[in-house]
Structure 1
Amino acid sequence: MPDRLVVLYRGNRPPATGLIERLADTVYATEEELPYLLPGADALLAWVTITPAIREAWPDNPEKAPRWVHAASAGVDSFLFPALVEDPGVTLTNSSGVYNEPIAEYVLGLILALAKDFPGTWEHQQHREWRPHQSETISGRTALVWGTGPIGRAIARLLRAAGMQVCGAGRKARTDHPDFGTVHDSATLHSALAEADYVVLAAPLTPDTRGMVDAPVLAAMKPGARLINVARGGLVDEEALVGHLAAGRLAGAALDVFAQEPLPAESPLWDMPGVIVSPHMAGETMSEREGLIELFLDNLRRRAEGLPLRNVVDKRRGYVVDSNPPPL
């Protein structure tokens, strides 16, 4: 049992607090309370993950810092600050796996909404206007999924099942990937962008990927293509994206994440034709909280029994690299 587990929450505490408390000496902290409760804790469950509070509350003395941090999210960019990354005694785990299918379903829904112009149909309905119009088919269209981790693979499988042609973009090129078939690296990325009708971002936000969808990448995309981002807003140069959308070079975009969240009211993205804005909810489902806590409890039991943890993050790369042991 950890000497002390701090649970960082905002608004509502996680479910199954009774189970957590039976397995660990548990205290609960808001973001404001964290600086007072984190020093000396053995473990941290970050039920809130997109926050500067963890970085700001992290003890200056490494001996006072937690030895294990678990993120209730797949993305861990908020945790990749030097004091945590450079301390070899701190293990970081995430919630990879919980969001795979929900985000894949959301991406398919966004592609269908764009291709069938559901937003336009709903707008006509609000005005009681009867306007039949032709829509696009997605069968046979090409989707480039940028990010070949578990979420990207789930997206690829679902889009392929819907009849789309799918390829991937990642660190290493290959032609025999079980979900993507072809995976492009930087050497062939621009040629792949030129062929893709939809570019789907599913990569983690790391120092290497921040701003990766910049003006040259957008210019390399196929005229009339659409961009979908369900990863992190920091992957995209939003000013360059607005420019390409305004010029009509891209047909549209579906954006669930943004450089600044909530998206400022003055952002032109709110009103641009062909753009769908959603409030960072691609992975949120009615069963999300239960899945997140089940994974954390599994790891909490593993740690108490000295077993390998699931979803150990390579802190230098910013994502899970090695295969995980099965659930208990």
Structure 2
Amino acid sequence: MKLFATVFLLFLSFDLYAGKSDTTQIRSHLITLTKTPGFRNYQDLKTLNEASQYIETTFRKYSERVVVQPYNIGKKTYQNIICSFGPENAPRIIVGAHYDVCDNQQGADDNASGTTGLLELARLLQHENLNVRIDLVAYTLEEPPYFRTQNMGSYVHAKSLAEAKVPVLGMVSLEMIGYFKDEKHTQDYPVGALKLVYGNRGNYITLVRKFGAGKFARQFNRTFHKTDLIRTKSFVGPAALPGIDFSDHLNYWAFGFSALMVTDTAFYRNKNYHQPTDTLKTLDLTRMANVIDSVYETLLKLAKN
């Protein structure tokens, strides 16, 4: 009887800690987002719009509150897609990822992985009873030639929140969350000496924020670590350090919002960055699912307090 009870408790424990993200769904989203012959860059508006339509359609499966935020650059119209959960007028947490790519490449890690994270979070959040509002935002035009310009989708979104004086608790940028390596010497850093602190294996997810990034960024960082679902390391440094602001969170910093980035460290690890070799077959979907689950569990703890 004692042996049976022990086995049952072990089984129950395994079940309780089983992942919530679905790797089959993750793979399906990635296949759709990275399909060719087109490429979802600023010049290929047809393929970019097909991606945004897929994101919108998927969001609408899980929420009745989906909004398209269009804006024009010359004669072309680009759009962010926003999916909301929780009380309409409550303070907001923004979770964002860009769905465009740089040049003619599939961009599986950069950033179909982050976009897929949003789609899975929408599925997971659909039945949650939240005390704050969570907006999942798929951005366009994060990549060159619009990076660091006011034409970035995240700049348009952050500016709209600031101008409307929307109460924002903080923002999380999902920027490349699917590439992991356990071998030695698979992780680089902007400063070589950081290998002594963080190691030389690319087998972890990183939470990146600048000094003075704000209360929410600190809370998210601390809570994410406590989920203990994926090997995690935190990096905090000056905003001028190369790589620390290389995604959509920089635009929320510009408007005074607390923000941080969840990343596999991009080109400091993934040498397929901005290359045709950034394909689905290079990604670790199990660990990517663990990252998504960690974000989900962290959001629940912050949104239900």
Q: Which has the larger radius of gyration?
A: 1
Larger relative contact order, structure 1 or 2 (CA cutoff 8 Å, min sep 6): 2
Give TM-score scaled by structure 1 length: 0.24
